[in-house]
């Protein structure tokens, strides 16, 4: 999986970039945990499911320009979510007990995020 960086204003996150069909389909499935300081970037993905997940996740859906279209915090296993019209990039992070501790805290709908290769 490729290493990327996600940026928003003065914040940066290290990312795993799911570039292949298999990586996009797998995402965070099957993992027992995921580092709280990392983001899974899933391109060509406008909807997700959390079937067989072992932990709750925070999800952000972006359009092709990196604009935030939808955000969901603390999504439990066995759910399906659609990012809505124009969603084509999904970001996933391990959920925290407190939304203020989420990797995505402070980001809101309409903000623009930048994803670049390291």
User: Residue 1: is its pLDDT beyond 80?
Assistant: no
Q: What are phi and psi of 111, to 5 degrees?
A: -65, 155
Can you give the residue ranges of every domain in the chain? 2-100
pLDDT recorded at residue 60: 98
How far apart CA 33 and CA 40 sit, in angstroms, is 12
pLDDT in tens, 16-74: 999 888 888 777 777 888 888 899 999 999 999 999 899 999 999 999 999 999 999 99
How would CATH label the architecture of 2-100?
Sandwich (2.60)
pLDDT recorded at residue 22: 82
pLDDT averaged over every residue in the chain: 91
- Beta-sheet pairing, 38-43 with 11-17: parallel
């Amino acid at each position: 999986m490729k290493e990327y960086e996600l940026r928003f204003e003065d914040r940066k996150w290290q990312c795993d970039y799911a570039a292949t069909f298999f990586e996009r389909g797998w995402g965070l499935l099957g993992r027992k945990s995921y580092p709280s300081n990392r983001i899974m970037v899933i391109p060509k993905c406008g909807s997700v499911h959390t079937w067989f997940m072992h932990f709750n996740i925070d999800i952000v859906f972006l359009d092709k320009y990196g604009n935030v279209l939808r955000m969901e915090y603390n999504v439990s296993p066995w759910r399906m979510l659609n990012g809505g019209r124009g969603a084509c990039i999904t970001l996933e992070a391990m959920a925290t007990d407190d939304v203020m501790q989420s990797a995505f805290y402070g980001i809101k709908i309409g903000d623009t995020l930048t994803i670049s290769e390291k």
